[in-house]
Amino acid sequence: MVNIILLGPPGAGKGTQAKRLVDGRGMVQLSTGDMLREAKTSGTEMGNRVAEVMAKGQLVTDDIVIGLIEEKITGNSGGGFIFDGFPRTLPQADALGRLMEKTGQSLDAVIEMRVDDAALVARITGRFTCGQCGEVYHDQTRPTKVAGTCDACGSHDLRRRADDNEDALKQRLLEYYKKTSPLIGYYYAKGMLADVDGLAQVDAVGVAIAKVLDKS
């Protein structure tokens, strides 16, 4: 059992690869983005504030996301946790380290998914996902076999995200370079960093990630 972080800018392919690891290895995906989108629909004051921040492409405060993760990591970890979109700041990384230690768990690898910005606009603006099973699609590179129907679960609940537009993406990338990319040095210094070519085909990225997992 291994616990890993998938690190990379929006559109790097973290969710796509996390889904493969859930299906293939019984790992448990912990996506703070998914958790926050769920909170957004609650209609509470906190939910409304979070929705505004996310729509602008800014980061939600550390306290909120750390609280969400804290609730999950005492639960069942199956074949291991995949942290997807968390941590995104140095304080979040420190908090995760402390929480893992406190719960007697290890963090085994941090996989940086390298892509260049030019690819990200096309990836983000073409993305849609299944609201039922989380399968990730793309208008051009990964369409559903039957229009409007999820290949994986047959649902017709296919969704696009409100922040998957060019303006919000610009802000999301700024946040990534300013606040999240320092984590590359942070985990490198701890000897935990591995990188994979996120521009390769989905299957090839999956193979590269599997190699890292099997070594950890």
Query: Quick check: 206 binds ligand AMP (CB under 6 A)?
Result: no
Q: How far apart are CA 168 and CA 149, in angstroms?
A: 27
Query: Of these residues, 114, 142, 161, 179, which one is catalytic?
Result: 161
- Within residues 12-51, the interface with ligand AMP by CB under 6 A covers 32-33, 36
Please provide residue 190's backbone torsions phi and psi, each rounded to the nearest 5 degrees. Answer: -90, 0
Instruction: Find the largest Cα–Cα distance for the chain.
Output: 47
| Kind of pairing between the strands at 127-130 and 158-159 | antiparallel
Query: Of these residues, 14, 20, 37, 123, which one is catalytic?
Result: 14
Q: Are 1 and 212 in contact (CB under 8 A)?
A: no
User: Is 14 among the catalytic positions?
Assistant: yes
Which amino acid is it at 115? Answer: V
User: Is 37 among the catalytic positions?
Assistant: no
Q: How far apart are CA 96 and CA 34, in angstroms?
A: 18
Q: How far apart are CA 11 and CA 162, in angstroms?
A: 14
- Binding residues for ligand ADP (CB under 6 A): 8, 10-16, 123, 126-127, 136-138, 141-142, 200-202, 205
| Kind of pairing between the strands at 28-31 and 193-197 | unpaired
Q: How far apart are CA 162 and CA 158, in angstroms?
A: 13
Q: Are 29 and 76 in contact (CB under 8 A)?
A: no
Among 81, 86, 128, 187, interactor with ligand AMP by CB under 6 A: 86
Site string for ligand AMP, 94-123 (x = CB under 6 A): ------------------------------
Query: Quick check: 54 binds ligand AMP (CB under 6 A)?
Result: yes
User: Is 114 among the catalytic positions?
Assistant: no
The window from 82-90, 109-117, 133-141, 142-150 that contacts ligand AMP (CB under 6 A) reads 82-90
Query: Of these residues, 56, 88, 170, 179, which one is catalytic?
Result: 88
Least spacing, CB of residue 169 vs ligand AMP, in Å: 9
Ramachandran region of residue 165, left (φ > 0), alpha (ψ -120 to 50) or beta? beta
Least spacing, CB of residue 84 vs ligand ADP, in Å: 7
Q: Given the rule CB under 6 A, which residues bind ligand AMP?
A: 10, 32-33, 36, 53-54, 57-60, 65, 85-86, 88, 92, 163, 172
Q: Which residues are identified as catalytic?
A: 14, 88, 127, 161, 172
